[in-house]
A and B are shown apart, each in its own frame.
Chain A
Amino acid sequence: MKRAWIKKVLSVGVATVMCVGMLAGCGSTEKTESASSSESSDAEDGGSSDGQITLKFVTKIPEDNRQKCMKEIIASFEESHPNIKIEQTAYGDEEIKDKLKVLLGGDDKPDIYFTWSGERLQGYIDEDLAVDLTKYLDDDAEWKDNFNQSMLETCNKEGSYYAVPWDYSSKVFFYNKEVFDACGITTAPTTWDEFLADCEIIKNAGYTPIAIGNQYPWVVCHWITTLNQKLVPADVLEANYNGENADFSDPGYAQALNMLKELLDKGYINSDVNSCTYEMSQSMVLEGKAGMIYDETQIMSKYDENAFGTFDFPEIEGEAGEAGYVTGGPDLYCVNTSCEYPDEAVEFLKYLTSVEAQQKIVKDIQFMPVVDGAATEETATANAISIINKNQEAPGVAEWLDCVLNQTVANEYLVACQEIFNGTSAEDLMQSISDVASGEY
């Protein structure tokens, strides 16, 4: 009799455990009591109990040294604002392109989040996901005026500011000084013809002249950003980019793609350009297998100044576009309209863009600042300061092509950035971009 009883208890027990297990699995969809969502419910009634406010902060800087810097900035903010706690989550560059959209559409909404400028920001504004910060800027003229104005203007959509810049990145050529010396090149090229001549010399000496890691096509897209801006008249560019004109038939566009094709055909770029990763292309230059790379100032710390030099993208003879522009874009932070404490969120943004914090990012992680007074002799190398000053004086910014364009058109352009090396003609590629731009999206 006892055996039957034990059997019964055991079977009921097992059945209960299995049911509880099943419910625990479903538990995360219910917001009230399960452990996995306690964090978000805490943040929501964060202000209630003891005045403690928690702000969720999404960034794009998961790398170790950058995280260290950001955590220190957050820590010193929390010290001076004991009632505010910042919960940071960082995602990588490719990851955040998808992840942020899901976060914004889901229940776990960030209060302050990173975005690129251009259409990426516009998308969030259209869906009412970014707080209008104009009055905060107008109320604090000192804060507003200290910004690099052309970077701040990227946050201005239809007269209102929906984000603030935090740092910016621009493109510059890094070259391996040893490789250049070995090839007998003493001065950096300033025109496209000089550039091609140098490539020929480097190639004949047995090195790869230019390293491009286009596994993710944003790499070549950055080249196209610069080339388009130089080859296409400014007003035509503006009309095409903001969607007014869907016809990308200006010969400058096809010329830009063809120039890249020419580089590949002449053997000036590594032949595995479409499968080579960005990191591999950087290694090629760092290890001295390749001579040059068109990389971002944000990653300057990777290229030690003693071994690597920099030069600007060469000017092209007969270019129809504007000269001297900076190719680059700011990293912006927006405040989510769902944030319950926008004033405190802006306080944090003010701290992130204060001279103190900006000096820190220049010094610790060699980021480009967006405020005046951040790049000084104590914080930055001479080379960095000269780049920053040059950017400050540039007549304009050519923003990243995949941010400035409508996302559907941008996607088609990114495909073109790989297809050009596959053998498809530049004219055909620009035609399909025009088709997508004029279609319903």
Chain B
Amino acid sequence: MAIYKNKKMLFLFLFPSMLLIGALIFLPVILNVYYSLFKWTAYSKSMKFVGLDYYVKLFSDKNVWSAFRNNALYAVISIIFQAILGLVLAYIINNIASKKIAVVSRVIIFIPAVVSITAIGLLWVIIYNPSIGFLNPILESIGLGGVIKDWLGDKSTAMMAVIMVSQWQYMGEMVMLYTVGLQNIPTELFESAKIDGANSLQTFFRITVPLIKETILMNVMITIIGAFMVFDEVYVMTSGGPGRSTEVLASLLYKTGFRQDNMGYACAIGVFMFVVTFIFAIVELKMYNVKETMGGGKNE
């Protein structure tokens, strides 16, 4: 189409969004790096230049690294449940289950993803509670009374308890994304595989997975980046506690800036989070060959 060749029109159409993205995303990131070089609070009238002091502090701060480990744990569990099990679930619903069951299951699995995180967090605080929640009584009734714990109050279980709530909430979204990818695979391939005598497992690994490689990659990256930026679930359910067992980088950043009145250090933590997620994003872009996919789409 002629419009793609007309550079002036291109620029005109892109300009408003570029302006918005620049002002709302790039500018704050740059300002954040600038502000991390000063000592200031949310309500201070002046800022004191400290240079790279906060970055030096960051690398030796055990709280930052234990938060980083929590984020890494979050990422690993999320990949297993969302990126991998999400695919398996999507495959089962799409290819194995009957149409009716498929439609109903997709809706049920997806519902948590559209409910507000705060509401879900508060709901699970009650569910996990040993006195008034229903999780422990259910475990007892199916004979698992031995594993009962104070899920959110015991530092050995708190982080996993919070992570599992995220998985419950977002698996539905992943199933949806994978379903879109799965439905793009031509059914003839599955039919000919069936004729050739392949069972579900072989079909899954030899046909499905290679064909939705890009979707898998994209979902893994979304999951990892999300795991390093997680804030809401943690803050609503445990606020980083008990002690610091569920502290993640984002909640540490928040408390450093607004409770400890150390905005400069909070900005440095923010820059650290940006660098980590940026590295993952670059890796993804390198692996996800944009040109080939786009080019492929246009010619067919």
Chain A interfacial positions (CB closer than 8 Å to B): 18-19, 22, 26, 97-98, 101-102, 104-105, 123-124, 127-129, 214-217, 270-277, 280, 284, 407-408, 411, 415-416, 418-419, 421-424, 440-441
Contacts and interface: CB of A to CB of B under 8 A. Distances in A.
30 contacts: A26-B23, A97-B259, A101-B258, A101-B261, A102-B42, A104-B43, A123-B261, A124-B43, A127-B41, A127-B43, A127-B44, A214-B242, A217-B241, A272-B131, A272-B150, A274-B241, A275-B128, A275-B151, A275-B153, A275-B158, A277-B125, A284-B131, A408-B260, A415-B243, A418-B241, A418-B242, A423-B155, A440-B57, A441-B260, A441-B262
A270 B131 contact: yes
B129 interface: yes
Contacts of B152: 274-275
A276 B125 CA distance: 9
A411 B242 contact: no
B45 interface: yes
A325 B44 CA distance: 34
B150 A275 contact: yes
Nearest to A337: B45
A418 B243 contact: yes
A175 to B, nearest CB: 20
Contacts of A123: 41, 43, 261
B17 to A, nearest CB: 9
B236 to A, nearest CB: 11
A276 B262 contact: no
A98 B254 CA distance: 9
Contact of A271 (B45, B150, B242): B150
A411 B155 contact: no
A18 B238 CA distance: 41
A275 B242 contact: yes
Given A129-B43, A270-B131, A19 B243 contact: no
A427 to B, nearest CB: 16
Which of B153, B155, B254: most chain A Cβ within 10 A?
B153
B153 A22 contact: no
B255 interface: yes
B130 interface: yes
B67 to A, nearest CB: 13
A18 B4 CA distance: 22
Nearest to A18: B16
User: At the interface, is chain B mostly helix, strand, loop or mixed?
Assistant: loop
Size category of the binding interface on chain B = 35 or more
Contact of A101 (B23, B42, B155): B42
A418 to B, nearest CB: 4
Contacts of B57: 440
Interface string B204-239: 000000000000000000000000000000000011
Contacts of B43: 101-102, 104-105, 123-124, 127, 129
B246 to A, nearest CB: 11
A272 B243 contact: no
Given A127-B41, A272-B130, A415-B244, A98 B259 contact: yes
A104 B43 CA distance: 5
A300 B170 CA distance: 43
Contacts of B260: 407-408, 411, 441
A280 B132 contact: yes
Given A272-B153, A418-B241, A411 B255 contact: yes
A237 B241 CA distance: 27
Given A19-B16, A275-B153, A422-B155, A280 B131 contact: yes
B20 interface: yes
Contact of B259 (A129, A273, A407, A419): A407
A276 B129 contact: yes
B149 to A, nearest CB: 9
Interface string B38-73: 000111110000000000010000000000000000
B245 interface: yes
A276 B255 contact: no
A176 B101 CA distance: 53
Nearest to A424: B243
B242 A422 contact: yes
B241 A271 contact: no
Interface string B123-152: 001001111100000000000000000111
A276 B16 contact: no
In the complex, the 7 A-B pairs of residues with the closest C-beta atoms, listed nearest first: A275-B153, A274-B242, A274-B153, A104-B43, A419-B243, A101-B42, A275-B152
Contacts of A271: 130, 150
B155 A97 contact: no
Given A101-B43, A411-B259, A422-B245, A274 B129 contact: no
Contact of B129 (A216, A272, A441): A272
Nearest to B254: A98
A105 B44 contact: yes
Contacts of A105: 41-44
Nearest to B150: A272
Contacts of B153: 215, 272-276, 421
Given A270-B131, A271-B150, A216 B259 contact: no
Given A105-B44, A123-B261, A408-B260, 6 more contacts: A102-B42, A102-B258, A104-B43, A124-B43, A274-B153, A418-B241
